[in-house]
Amino acid sequence: MLDIIIGIILLASFIGFTVYAVKGGNLMIGFLVMSIFWTALAIIGGQLTWADAQVKIFQGGPESWGATAVVVIFGSWFGQVLVKTGIAATIIRKTVELGGDKPLVTTVLLCIVTGLIFTSTFGAGAVVAVGVIVLPILLSLGVPKPLAVSAYLMSVGSGMYVNLVLFKQMQGIFEGFQYDSNYLKFGFAAMAVQLAVIVVMIAVRLNKKALVHSWAASTGSIEGAEAPWFSLITPLIPVVLAIVFGWQPIPAFIVAAFYALFVCGKIKSYKDCEQIVTKTFYDGVVDVASLLGFLFILPMFNKIAGPCSYFFEKILGGVIPTNALFLCILFAIIAPLGLFRGPLTVFGAGAAVLGILNGMGIYSAVLLFPLIYTPTITMNISCCPTQSWNLWAINYAKVSTKEFLTSGVLWGWIICAVNSLIVYFMYGMH
């Protein structure tokens, strides 16, 4: 009877936390409170001792995320290097020139190039730095503000499907899940789906008559020195080193960053090296400081979700679907619950859902990882105003939250539906 009572209390607290997250509550504090509360209930229910809670939950949790935090910092540093060397601006400038006198082609190319840049670049600072170049160009081409903002942010999100930094964050939850061909066949497929839907969205919604020919103004507005042509491969270096040669993320980022700094002439002496590396590293850490706080608290909750899954099993064991196809279809239908830090984004109440499902052991990580990744990337990171860089873009372009949501959410839902089915055909049929 005690197990049932604790299970009901846990479920009620989870629902309360979901409401708290949707209303914009501070997730770092929310997960800390939930971790403490669930730990107390697990101890009362006999599934945990205080000694184990100290070692495994409150100490072991944050420590287990240490490696992930370091990768996040180096990834953000790499993003700052791309910006400070002028490589990002040059790539965009070349893309605009490649589009010639075809505004629609230019718009599509900008979205594809943005996606490629963010396969390796990470951090709000990088999104803002690229955004202040791309968004004015899109607007100068006659793209309506809501569409321009949605197209840019969804393009950023597309690259996140194979982004090493974001993957490492998820890997902290799914211990042992590898950035290998088994995952990458989904990652690149999902990225391609998102980019394809963005292209369709632009083609359907863009009023071709409204497009203007302001190519000189567009390219001329891109500030910064021209980076040499052989530096433009820099965003692909970490991804290629990781995929083709099996490198770890940090050495891959270091090699790519120093390659960029050297070929762009930013390191002409030891003093130059000191200054540019220190400055970009500092900016990179500041850029992800609040994210790091969240990442150190989140694993506490993930760890306690395991012992608490015993109680959820008591009350939900016969309710949670065990059929992979049904689960994938369910995720496709309820994908918008990834918005507003809801139960389908890892950066919200979805972390609790994931912890419960992981703890109950109903599904393998091979299925759950890409399934929860889809609404996290497409709904939360690409289409939700609670994402920090999305909120920046909304304010920068002077677009209302309503306009932003109505512009991108439906298309994001389509992406989630397609990618959820891809997950089933790749991993759920085994």
**Percentage of the chain surpassing pLDDT 70?**
91
Model confidence at 217, in pLDDT bands (50, 70, 90)?
Answer: very low
Instruction: Give yes or no for a contact between 382 and 408, defined as CB atoms under 8 angstroms apart.
Output: yes
Q: What average pLDDT does the structure give for the chain?
A: 84
Model confidence at 216, in pLDDT bands (50, 70, 90)?
Answer: very low
Residue 426's nearest CA partner among 218, 179, 157, 188 is: 188
Q: What is the dihedral of CA 224, 230, 234, 238, to 10 degrees?
A: -170
Model confidence at 210, in pLDDT bands (50, 70, 90)?
Answer: low
**Burial class of residue 295, CB neighbours in 10 A (0-12, 13-18, 19+):** buried
Residue 87's nearest CA partner among 76, 98, 75, 79 is: 79
Question: Which two three-digit tokens encode residue 247?
Answer: 């490198």
The C-alpha atoms of residue 110 and residue 274 are separated, in whole angstroms, by 34
pLDDT in tens, 194-204: 999 999 999 88
What average pLDDT does this structure show over 93-108?
80
Rounded (10°) angle between helices 270-287 and 66-84: 120
Comparison of pLDDT for 290 and 410, the residue scoring more = 410
pLDDT in tens, 386-424: 787 888 888 888 888 888 888 999 999 999 999 999 999
Neighbouring residues of 365: CB distance < 8 A, sequence distance ≥ 6? 174, 176, 177, 358
Sign of the torsion angle spanned by Cα atoms 79, 83, 85, 90: positive
User: What b-and-e string marks burial along 345-359, b requiring 16 or more CB atoms within 10 Å of the CB?
Assistant: bbbbbbbbbbbbbbb
Whether residue 92 is predicted with pLDDT greater than 70 in this model: the reply is yes
Comparison of pLDDT for 12 and 311, the residue scoring more = 12
pLDDT at 123: 78
The C-alpha atoms of residue 124 and residue 284 are separated, in whole angstroms, by 9
Tell me the range of 87-91, 118-122, 149-153 where mean pLDDT is highest: 149-153
Whether residue 14 is predicted with pLDDT greater than 90 in this model: the reply is no
Comparison of pLDDT for 429 and 284, the residue scoring more = 284
User: What b-and-e string marks burial along 137-165, b requiring 16 or more CB atoms within 10 Å of the CB?
Assistant: bbbbbbbbbbbbbbbbbbbbbbbbbbbbb
Question: Which two three-digit tokens encode residue 226?
Answer: 């021209």
pLDDT at 317: 60
pLDDT at 53: 93
Secondary structure of residue 363 in the 3-state scheme: coil
**Could you say which DSSP state residue 228 is in?**
P
pTM attached to this predicted model: 0.81
pLDDT at 37: 93
What average pLDDT does this structure show over 105-111?
90
Whether residue 336 is predicted with pLDDT greater than 80 in this model: the reply is yes
The C-alpha atoms of residue 310 and residue 301 are separated, in whole angstroms, by 15
Residue 73's nearest CA partner among 274, 288, 251 is: 288
Q: Which amino acid, residue 15?
A: I
Residue 413's nearest CA partner among 388, 393, 384 is: 384
Whether residue 126 is predicted with pLDDT greater than 90 in this model: the reply is no
pLDDT at 140: 83
Model confidence at 305, in pLDDT bands (50, 70, 90)?
Answer: confident
pLDDT in tens, 158-187: 999 999 888 988 887 777 678 888 899 999
Question: Which two three-digit tokens encode residue 419?
Answer: 């990618």
**C-alpha distances in Å from residue 269, one per residue of 53, 265, 297:** 51, 10, 41
pLDDT at 354: 77
